[in-house]
């Protein structure tokens, strides 16, 4: 019998939004009780240095069944979320951001879809109240994902999703560089889609920097697609063909005594172009090799300092 929904909340410098998040989650719990479902709350503090942890502990005194996990330092939102998944015991689970940009009330709508039989429910963003640069970056990013990774991936992307417990083993056993939400979509269950507007961040400053976003792009593309390495091979073959044809023309010109002395600039340009191309190719190959090395070195993704 389905009777419990787990919500994992990664927390990092969210002291400003946590009180309102607690209120929103209490409303969610009341709605779940009407559906004869209980709520399991798992908060994971990702090395915050504000008052986030103290607020979480205060909330636990009011709601003792709440689970709080403190990591030794900041490991990043994705690894923090995966750490929280180890404590999930519900029949379905949700990873919810603590900044309130994704409304917690959507959990109820997703649960209703799940009760109706859906194993996988996603909330697709149809618009977002973010800075212009972030909107442009997100638009380019999701175009790349649809082009290189998953052709049917939602155009607006999604972070908030409800997954049946059957997804849990796949996420827990995934590679370190694999992003849980993308792996869940890759598994193949047809998702039920809810569309919503991503709200403006009202509390605190986003710690999701451009560098972290850029790193995420590499993790997703290189973690789910062989296209970059095949593109390198194809482009290398194309350049080799052009070089062969050029070499043949040079040989023929030499035999006919038609090679002029000039050509130093062309030679330098060709050499620098090919060297730059080789360096880029080695860089992409290196990114793949680094992810293999990360998986083989057996270093833990996160380290837990304390559990309440």
**183-208 per-position pLDDT tens digit:** 888 888 989 999 888 777 666 565 55
Given CA atoms 219, 223, 224, 229 in this order, what sign does their dihedral have? positive
User: Which of 144, 150, 136 is closest to 181 using CA atoms?
Assistant: 150
How buried is 288 (Cβ within 10 angstroms: 0-12 exposed, 13-18 middle, 19+ buried)? middle
Between β-strands 161-164 and 120-128, what pairing exists: parallel, antiparallel or unpaired?
antiparallel
The fraction of the chain above a pLDDT of 90, given in percent, is: 39
pTM score: 0.76
CA–CA gap between residue 254 and residue 7 (Å, rounded): 73
Most confident of 40-49, 234-243, 267-276: 40-49
Residue 17 predicted with pLDDT over 50: yes
* Full strand arrangement of the beta sheet holding 120-128: 192-198, 120-128, 161-164, 92-95, 4-11, 38-45, 67-71, 304-307
Most confident of 24-33, 172-181, 283-292: 24-33
Q: Where are the beta strands (DSSP E) in 103-206?
A: 120-128, 161-164, 192-198
Lowest-pLDDT range, 55-69, 81-95, 293-307? 293-307
Expressed in percent and rounded to 5, the helix, strand and coil fractions of the chain are: 50, 15, 35
Lowest-pLDDT range, 70-74, 248-252, 298-302? 248-252
Residue 46 predicted with pLDDT over 70: yes
């Amino acid at each position: 019998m389905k009777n419990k929904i787990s919500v994992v909340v990664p927390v990092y410098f969210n002291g400003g939004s946590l009180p309102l998040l607690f209120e929103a989650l209490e409303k969610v719990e009341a709605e779940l009780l009407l559906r004869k479902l209980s709520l399991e709350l798992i908060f994971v503090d990702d090395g915050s240095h504000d008052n986030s942890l103290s607020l979480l502990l205060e909330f636990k005194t009011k709601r003792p069944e709440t689970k709080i996990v403190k990591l030794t330092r900041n490991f990043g939102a994705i690894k923090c979320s995966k750490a929280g998944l180890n404590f999930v015991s519900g029949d379905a689970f949700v990873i919810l951001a603590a900044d309130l940009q994704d409304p917690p009330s959507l959990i109820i709508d997703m649960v209703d879809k799940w009760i109706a039989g859906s194993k996988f429910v996603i909330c697709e963003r149809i618009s977002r109240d973010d800075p212009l640069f972030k909107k442009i970056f997100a638009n380019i990013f999701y175009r790349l994902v649809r082009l290189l990774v998953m052709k049917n991936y939602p155009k607006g992307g999604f972070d908030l999703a409800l997954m049946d417990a059957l997804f849990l083993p796949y996420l827990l056993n995934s590679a370190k560089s694999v992003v849980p939400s993308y792996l869940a979509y890759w598994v193949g269950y047809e998702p039920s889609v809810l569309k919503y507007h991503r709200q403006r961040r009202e509390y605190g400053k986003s710690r999701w920097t451009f560098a972290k976003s850029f790193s995420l792009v590499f993790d997703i593309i290189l973690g789910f697609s062989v296209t970059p390495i095949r593109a390198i091979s194809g482009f290398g073959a194309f350049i080799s063909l052009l070089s062969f044809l050029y070499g043949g023309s040079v040989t023929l010109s030499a035999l006919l005594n038609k090679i002029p002395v000039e050509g130093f600039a062309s030679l330098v340009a060709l050499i620098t172009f090919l060297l730059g191309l080789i360096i880029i190719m080695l860089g992409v190959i290196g990114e793949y090799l680094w992810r293999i090395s990360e998986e083989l070195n057996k270093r833990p993704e996160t380290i837990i300092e304390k559990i309440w």
